[in-house]
Structure 1
């Protein structure tokens, strides 16, 4: 490893009825772009350590619970039907607020924005979500925040929001570019045989 080079912890929060591609898409991007684990340590975290049942009855064993999770450098909040329940879960909202104080980046995929909207973290930010959830998100965001439609992802600096499902892959590639350069991001997309959609995004 190069002198001074760090391996960032990438924590992906999962919960009951999480959308599968919302968390596996970014997971794939960060492990593929990690230079064989040198740049990113990617793991899942849930409220508890028991298996989590995602949409489609996919059972996932989280690597950690919120009680023993290593401090994330990057925290990813995916969406899914379960986001409507988790946005009312005070334990999770408090955990996100606390852990976000020390993270480098917080990423939202799809309706993960609904969960972040219930924290005290998004005042004055621009954000986006799945186009089918625009109305839901507008109802819960503070007046100081602005919902952007028809964009793939929105970069506020520390907080980055993506639109629905596959947009989380585009956002994650953008984050690879932001942290490690465009060539690393392009190489990651090429390894994945994925056509990176870099258009229609907002950056502060």
Structure 2
């Protein structure tokens, strides 16, 4: 049976928070279908979403039509700011615990997980500029200030923006194998050598 990874989209999502993990996971699932996973995008209403810097992305499904998920990816971006006070969104996020075996976040997506109570008493991280906000939302969180991503079993959080690529490669390693993750990394030519 094919297992599913659902990537949440919303207005104000940070482009690379969504597209970085998508590139890793879509490349993996399309080139190695025998690993048994597929990935899709979804949003509250389905259809196009305008991202933080103006890019528009088409969500394939809405909340109501999306397939069940084995893995949920909750990106960050400016759109997460109002979500931490949006009770219907927080209720939806809480409800995912019962139906989604593995929940992950990129960047400030973890702020929504924290506001929903999903990170209580857990280690977690987020974008370096939002680490204090993460601690404010739930002082019981063991905030990891230096980690690129934090795997705490059924919840994985990652630091900001490009860290979502590392988290997605970790997901491939965890869900398939270290060899597969290395193959995907090589094939998408993810070999960071920053010029600055």
TM-score in terms of structure 1 length: 0.88
CA shift, 1:122, in A, is 1.5
Equivalent residue, structure 1, for 2:155: 159
Residues 37-74 of structure 1: per-residue CA shift (max 9 Å, x gap): 44321111111124211022111221111122111100
Equivalent residue, structure 2, for 1:200: none
Task: Say yes or no: does 1:171 pair with 2:190.
Answer: no
Any stretches of 5+ residues in structure 2 without a counterpart? none
Q: 1:96, 1:107 → 2: CA distance?
A: 12
Q: 1:195, 1:105 → 2: CA distance?
A: 27
Kindly indicate whether the alpha-carbon contact (under 8 Å) linking 2:43 and 2:63 is maintained by their aligned counterparts in 1: yes
Equivalent residue, structure 1, for 2:106: 109
Task: Say yes or no: does 1:139 pair with 2:153.
Answer: no
Kindly indicate whether the alpha-carbon contact (under 8 Å) linking 1:30 and 1:40 is maintained by their aligned counterparts in 2: no
Equivalent residue, structure 2, for 1:79: 76
Kindly indicate whether the alpha-carbon contact (under 8 Å) linking 1:31 and 1:40 is maintained by their aligned counterparts in 2: no
Kindly indicate whether the alpha-carbon contact (under 8 Å) linking 1:170 and 1:196 is maintained by their aligned counterparts in 2: no
Greater alpha carbon shift after TM alignment, 145-154 vs 99-108? 99-108
CA shift, 1:113, in A, is 0.7
Equivalent residue, structure 2, for 1:3: none
TM-score in terms of structure 2 length: 0.91
Say what the alpha-carbon RMSD is for the aligned residues.
1.6
Q: Which of 8, 14, 19 is equivalent to 1:13?
A: 8
Kindly indicate whether the alpha-carbon contact (under 8 Å) linking 2:122 and 2:141 is maintained by their aligned counterparts in 1: yes
Q: How does 1:1-204 map to 2 (within 5 A)?
A: 6-34=1-29, 35-38=31-34, 39-141=36-138, 143-195=139-191
CA shift, 1:36, in A, is 4.5
Kindly indicate whether the alpha-carbon contact (under 8 Å) linking 2:169 and 2:185 is maintained by their aligned counterparts in 1: yes
Kindly indicate whether the alpha-carbon contact (under 8 Å) linking 1:17 and 1:82 is maintained by their aligned counterparts in 2: yes
